[in-house]
Amino acid sequence: MASRGCVLAVFAIFFISRILCSHGAPVAPMTPYLMLCQPHMRCGDKFYDPLQHCCYDDAVVPLARTQRCGNCTFRVCFEQCCPWTFMVKLINQNCDSAPTSDDRLCRR
């Protein structure tokens, strides 16, 4: 029979690991630094690291991915192409909103 101290130690380790991992899933470290828990995002049925990828059109793509919009290119993780006006806007802006200083007009 296990001693009371052993049972408490196992419970404490389990409890601490649950607290540390409550904001993300445990993953294998990708860098030399040990990371116990890392936030994760989901794109369809795949998980991805939001520090390296984003979800675009139901696909996991690298943060540096670009695409054409008229005669411009835009970063799909941060910007969007408004096809009927050929304007590039930030991803959280509505294409129907008035142009701002952050927008780029792209010719066909």
* Mean confidence (pLDDT) of the chain: 79
Please give the full DSSP string across 25-43, using - where no structure is assigned: B----SSSS--S-B--EEE
Q: What is the pLDDT of residues 69-89, one digit of tens each?
A: 999 999 999 999 998 889 999
High-pLDDT (> 70) share of the chain, %: 64
pLDDT greater than 80 at residue 30? no
Whole-number Å distance between alpha carbons of 54 and 107: 27
Q: Where are the domains of the chain?
A: 42-105
